[in-house]
Structure 1
Amino acid sequence: MPELPEMETYRMLLTKLVVGKPITDVRVGRPKSINVLPDRFHGELVGRTIMEIQRRAKYLIFRLDSGSSLLLHLMLGGWMHFGTEADKPDRNTQVEIDFGAGTLYFIGLRLGFLHLLTEPQLSERLGELGPEPLALDFSEATFRERLQSKKGALKPLLTNQQWIAGIGNCYSDEICFEAGLLPTHNSGEIGPDVASALFRSMRTVLQRAIHKGGYMENPLYCGDGLTGGYNDAYLVYDRGGEACYRCGHSIVSDHLSSRKVFYCSNCQR
């Protein structure tokens, strides 16, 4: 499932491709992927312009000049392609939005969605999300304070979207490795110094992943050399049984709270 770095990569690239361009046509191949009738969806989008694309947690928000917004969550298996009918992947599309000669194809939205929302609806939908880990106003002191009141294993806490927004299976493991902490470590036993190290590791890993374009397998458009650049940069995630790059010990693959978890039992304590 795409996490904060993947969605931030999409936001940056799509801003250059579609912001300021009028929507010329819309096609809905799967009505369940949207939240209104296809005719209404078409009528409220055609002729409108995307003024800005924002990211909140694992969501993208396409802000329209009408005052409404499109809220996208790709969930498991969802991705996008921008291009033409000639270069689009040979996959079923659930929604297609035309911007003149270029089309934004939404693919794999079986669990994901693209909802048309008013501003109050959008605020309500996103209201329960925790703070953004890379926000300038989310300080190390605030992180330590929020951590003090929590108990239980570290990985489920980092992936709790109400506690902190945007981190999932991949980056929670990478963050724990960067901090030298086991993902099974009890959050309530983390002292101030270790909490500070965890905060810095969280920001380091997420910023590194954004810089490399996240771990998406499919490029956003033909010639896209950024998207998916983190695929070869995993340190522990999805590397069960392989040698740790730091110490050479075998990476452990296990399950924690019904999630896969990867760590180095030698480097992480």
Structure 2
Amino acid sequence: MPELPEMENYRRLLNPKIAGQTITQVEINRDKSINVNPTLFINTVANQQIVTVNRRGKHLLFHLDNGQVLLLHLMLGGWMYFGTEEDKPKRTIQVRLSFGNHHLYFIGLRLGYLHLYNEQDVQKELSFLGPEALEPQFTLQAFLHLLHNRRGKIKTKLLDQEFIAGIGNCYSDEICYHAGIKTQRSLEDIGAPEQTQLYHSMKHVLQNALKHGGYMENPFFQGDNLTGGYNNLCLVYDREGEKCKRCGSKIIKEKISSRKTFFCPNCQK
């Protein structure tokens, strides 16, 4: 599932391509991918200009000049492609937004969605989200305050979008590996030095993943050499049985609350 680095990478690539551009046509191939009547969706979105694309947690917000917002959550298996009919992927397209001869294709939205809201309602939809991990105002002191009197497994808490927005299965494992802390440990059992290290590891891992385009393996446009660059840089996630690049021990996979987690039994204490 795309997480903060993947969605922020999309946002950064999208704005230069579509901000200020007018949506010339809308195509809906799967009604369940949207939240209103398809005719209403098309009439509301078509011929509108994209003002900007923002991100909140794992969501993207496409702000239209009529005050409406398209809220995207790719969920498991969802991705996007920007290009022409000639170079589009040979995959089923759930939704297509056209900008003249170029199109933004939404693919794999079986669990994901592209919903239409006004500004007030979209803020209500996202009001449950916690702080943004990479925002400058999310300081070490803010993080330590957030941890105060919290309980539960570290992995579970990092996945909680009400706790911190944007971290998912992959980066929770990578953050804990970088911090040298097992994902199975409880928050109440880690002291101040480990809490501080967890914060710095979170910042480092997410920034590094974003720098390399996240781990999504599908390019966003023809000639895109950035997206997915972090896929081969993961140190524990999805590497069960492989050697730890730090100590040589075998990476182990276990489950925590039905979620798979990967860790090095030697490097993470």
Q: Give the TM bin, normalised by the shorter chain.
A: over 0.9
1:171-207 residue CA offsets vs partner (Å, 9 max, x unmatched): 0000000000000111112222211110000000000
Cα distance in 1 for partners of 2:202, 2:58 equals: 16
Cα distance in 1 for partners of 2:5, 2:90 equals: 26
- One-letter code aligned to 2:223: G
Deviating beyond 3 angstroms after TM superposition, the runs of 4 or more aligned structure 1 residues are: none
Q: What's 2:67 paired with?
A: 67
Cα distance in 2 for partners of 1:153, 1:265 equals: 17
Cα distance in 1 for partners of 2:106, 2:255 equals: 31
What are the within-5 Å matches in structure 2 for residues 53-132 of structure 1? Answer: 53-132=53-132
Q: CA deviation at 1:146?
A: 1.3
Secondary structure of residue in 2 paired with 1:81: strand
Q: What's 1:190 paired with?
A: 190
Q: CA deviation at 1:76?
A: 0.4
Could you state the TM-score of these two structures normalised by the residue count of structure 2? Answer: 0.99
Cα distance in 1 for partners of 2:152, 2:67 equals: 42
Q: Percent of pairs identical after alignment?
A: 53
Q: CA deviation at 1:263?
A: 0.3
What are the within-5 Å matches in structure 2 for residues 1-269 of structure 1? Answer: 1-269=1-269
Could you state the TM-score of these two structures normalised by the residue count of structure 1? Answer: 0.99
Q: CA deviation at 1:148?
A: 2.1
Secondary structure of residue in 1 paired with 2:231: helix
Secondary structure of residue in 2 paired with 1:229: coil
Cα distance in 1 for partners of 2:46, 2:74 equals: 22
**Structure 1: segments with no counterpart, 5+ residues:** none
Secondary structure of residue in 2 paired with 1:237: coil
- One-letter code aligned to 2:136: L
Cα distance in 2 for partners of 1:130, 1:149 equals: 16
Q: CA deviation at 1:150?
A: 1.1
Instruction: Tell me how large the CA RMSD over aligned residues is.
Output: 0.7
1:181-240 residue CA offsets vs partner (Å, 9 max, x unmatched): 000111112222211110000000000000000011100010001100011001000001
Cα distance in 2 for partners of 1:149, 1:227 equals: 38
**Structure 2: segments with no counterpart, 5+ residues:** none
- One-letter code aligned to 1:230: Y
Task: Point out the more displaced range, 165-174 or 42-51.
Answer: 42-51
Q: CA deviation at 1:21?
A: 0.6
